[in-house]
């Protein structure tokens, strides 16, 4: 009965919230605990043009974490426009050595992609061996 009530409340709240704001996920690198999320998520959401709603998750089988961000309708439109400008094409994952966080990836990945021909970093990266190896996702120009 408690679960049914919780689901009903969630549906009621999400219906009204959907009109006011959209929720998107922002990549935050690796988040190890709630205190770490409180340090990383506000900045990750701000970069998306929104505010952190307090929720975060680590993708199963990876060390990649995302934060849930609330966007108003204007920010959501702006985010879609930014995504539409991202390079399109075949994605290639290229080994890049150890990458510790998003800021480090922003320094390393563009060089890694460019060193493999006319490739651009698409903004995505992942750790494949903790503390030893990461990959950057690169696409054709």
Confidence band, pLDDT 50/70/90 cuts, at residue 62: confident
pLDDT at residue 14, rounded to an integer: 46
Tell me: the pLDDT tens digits for 17-59?
444 468 888 899 889 888 889 989 998 888 888 889 989 998 8
Minimal CA–CA distance to 69: which of 123, 21, 130? 21
Query: Which pLDDT band holds residue 2 (cuts at 50, 70, 90)?
Result: low
pLDDT at 108: 94
Residue 120, beta-bridge partner list: 139
Q: Which residue has the higher pLDDT, 121 or 10?
A: 121
* pLDDT confidence of residue 136: 93
- Name the strands in the sheet holding 133-140, side by side, starting at the edge strand that comes first in the sequence: 91-97, 133-140, 119-129
Query: Which residue is it, tokens 């120009």?
Result: 141
Strand partners, 34: none
**Reported pTM:** 0.41
Query: Does the structure show a pLDDT above 50 at 128?
Result: yes
Q: pLDDT per residue over 69-110, tens digit each?
A: 988 655 444 554 555 445 457 888 999 999 989 899 999 999
Q: Which residue ranges form the domains of the chain, and what is each CATH number?
A: 18-83 (3.30.1490.230), 87-140 (3.30.1490.230)
Other Cβ atoms less than 10 A from the Cβ of 111: the count is 11
Predicted pLDDT of residue 21 = 60
Question: Are the C-beta atoms of 105 and 125 separated by less than 8 Å?
Answer: yes
């Amino acid at each position: 009965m408690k679960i049914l009530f919780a689901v009903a409340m969630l549906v009621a709240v999400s219906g009204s919230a959907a009109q006011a704001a959209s929720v998107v996920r922002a990549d935050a690198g690796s988040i190890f605990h709630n205190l770490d999320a409180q340090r990383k998520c506000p900045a990750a959401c701000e970069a998306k043009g929104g505010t952190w709603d307090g929720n975060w998750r680590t993708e199963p089988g990876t060390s990649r974490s995302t934060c849930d961000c609330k966007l108003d309708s204007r920010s959501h439109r702006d985010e879609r426009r930014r995504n539409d400008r991202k390079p399109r094409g075949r994605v290639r994952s290229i080994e890049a050595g150890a990458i510790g966080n998003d800021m480090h990836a922003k320094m390393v990945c563009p060089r890694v992609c460019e060193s493999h021909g006319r490739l651009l970093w698409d903004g995505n990266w992942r750790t494949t061996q903790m503390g030893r190896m990461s990959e950057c996702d690169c696409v054709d120009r």
